[in-house]
Structure 1
């Protein structure tokens, strides 16, 4: 007798939700994706979107992110009818002074035994990779990570959801989930319009709203407050007008992080400005913070003088209370599976595939061993302390 097709609901149409919907649909599940607002409407749509694992700890988190980088390369190499979304063009990083250079060298030493490609470059070689790069005279060496890169989040989501839809996944949007009733035989999704639908399994992929979604099942899943001004969960991101600079790489420098955003536009980030980030009061595109970012950009890249910010956003990170990924069933043997992570862009395609495999086979991948929700569920949110705000490249 043929086993019945599993009916699975996925809540959230960001990178985690669409990746999971795709992976489940490719394996023959009947998938329904619920989204209250629109695709990439949360953190996925406001992120620096740098694919990397070069400064992530502990080792299990580093290895998970390494596998996430590999998953992007594999997905890209698989091809398919989608716009370009992943650009593995490398990352260049340097330090501002001897203290910073020693910190960077120490971090790189940790990578020696981790099979993570990197090498030192002299400034002239770095300028061959990025011809318009302006490097301070005091910088003598630059760390180069050739397999890192950046993602354009909306084209990535288009790729993931498009393939999910091609394989039968259905969309409910706008659809606000107000209840999750987990029962012995099924789990019922209840919506704000009063309707409901039963499934065999549910995946919560609601990003910074994960704590609220888990609470609908009666489980506490502590997350760092995504609305706290100046905290580890918030950061400023500037999106420039088209520029005339030649940049096809990620730059993580002492004063500015930069990546391309298509059409000559750039995304710029100054981590030292993040203490002023407040989701309730995004800074103006012509204010002092914007002026600082644009001055730094002109100092870093030829061809950017005169650029302006077309938008200035406050990114809100999805951070589980201990800063690490959540991937697993909210209750042992239960029907609701939770995904939440700070590294959503890097990990999205990988976590979607691993979650689908676990849900459909019952087999849990060893990469997820340290990231089950039960380390957090039921814990006192205040017991985790305040997460450190990112200060160096790789921490954000």
Structure 2
């Protein structure tokens, strides 16, 4: 019997966890190396699962496919903290909102116009209800750190190893990447996967490969757990909100979070004041903490998925939460079976090399 291929996955956020889980499920010997169990960017995510406005059709199709993969993953991992709560949006100017409805409706997205009465029934605790909005019932959210840790825990039951260590470099044998150099020592493998977000570019640069990855900051506030005030995702002008499974309302000036400014605490307080003003009977609502995340975003806005050289595979993207299950499945298939999915063609690293 042939030995199981050994794959090192660098990164334990939502993307790294998904890739590690799919590889372990598909028969690889997996080692996850990361300093942060749950990732760095993942805990700062708004965690909206969607194929919403602002993207060309090929990327819409990719995101929509990953929404379906979330349902598949939830079936394989019972208890995954995932909720298909739908979204209510009126955060675009009227002409752009109409263009979104027409375009995505033609593409088959489950988008629906709603009036003020329907909005009040859907979100009765909003302080001010708009006259018109759109609902996308098929959108949802996940608790991303809990989901990543759940995938890692299940991967461990399948034989994966998780090592708490910093990756300081890549091990090269001739023209091939054959492992990683870490704070815990040198580790060799048949394949190395970089799912390390903003930490990916410095590692590839160390072997002469430049990837243009930007890291825009985004501030998001988190309330203390509270009684139910939101039934789904709410995308209002300059305020995107949702309520987590434990009752926390999380919000940003948009889903990616807003600029933290020079005084992050003042920015967070001002944002949370908007949250309280947007909700009726919110006197007891209190901010618990805020996060400032640095979202790993390839320069053209699209994912980077695939080999950059022999033995080295890369998966870095925003939106990582939406794309995690599909990225994990496709990466595992490519690495272990050599099967290349046609939908990955626009997202290859070669476009930058």
Separation (CA, whole Å) in 2 of partners of 1:62 and 1:87 = 21
Select between 322-331 and 123-132 the one with higher mean Cα deviation: 123-132
> CA separation of 1:180/1:63 partners in 2, compared to 1, >3 Å: closer, same or farther?
farther
2:334 aligned counterpart, secondary structure: helix
- Cα shift readout 1:222-263 (whole Å, capped 9, x = no counterpart): 211x2xxxxxx1121011123334323111111311011233
Contact 1:44–1:153 at 8 Å: present in 2 too? yes
After TM superposition, the structure 1 = structure 2 runs for residues 296-315 of structure 1, keeping only pairs within 5 Å, are 296-315=274-293
Q: 1:160 aligns with which of 148, 151, 163?
A: 151
Per-residue deviation at 1:341? Answer: 0.3
After TM superposition, the structure 1 = structure 2 runs for residues 206-217 of structure 1, keeping only pairs within 5 Å, are 206-217=196-207
Contact 2:48–2:255 at 8 Å: present in 1 too? no
Select between 139-148 and 170-179 the one with higher mean Cα deviation: 170-179
Is it true that 1:46 corresponds to 2:44 in the alignment?
yes
Is it true that 1:326 corresponds to 2:304 in the alignment?
yes
Contact 1:49–1:345 at 8 Å: present in 2 too? yes
> CA separation of 1:248/1:358 partners in 2, compared to 1, >3 Å: closer, same or farther?
same
**Which structure has the highest strand share of the two?**
2
Is it true that 1:132 corresponds to 2:125 in the alignment?
yes
Contact 1:8–1:199 at 8 Å: present in 2 too? yes
Q: 1:283 aligns with which of 254, 257, 264?
A: 264
Is it true that 1:87 corresponds to 2:86 in the alignment?
no
With normalisation by structure 1, the TM-score equals 0.84
2:346 aligned counterpart, secondary structure: coil
2:213 aligned counterpart, secondary structure: coil
> CA separation of 1:182/1:374 partners in 2, compared to 1, >3 Å: closer, same or farther?
farther
Q: Give ranges in structure 1 of 5+ residues lacking alignment.
A: 227-232, 378-396
* RMSD of equivalent CA atoms: 2.1
Per-residue deviation at 1:275? Answer: 6.5
Aligned to 1:371: 347
Aligned to 1:269: 252
- Cα shift readout 1:343-389 (whole Å, capped 9, x = no counterpart): 10000111011000011111111111100001112xxxxxxxxxxxx
Contact 2:13–2:145 at 8 Å: present in 1 too? no
Separation (CA, whole Å) in 2 of partners of 1:14 and 1:247 = 27
> CA separation of 1:179/1:130 partners in 2, compared to 1, >3 Å: closer, same or farther?
same
Q: Give ranges in structure 2 of 5+ residues lacking alignment.
A: none
What count of residue pairs does the alignment treat as equivalent? 353
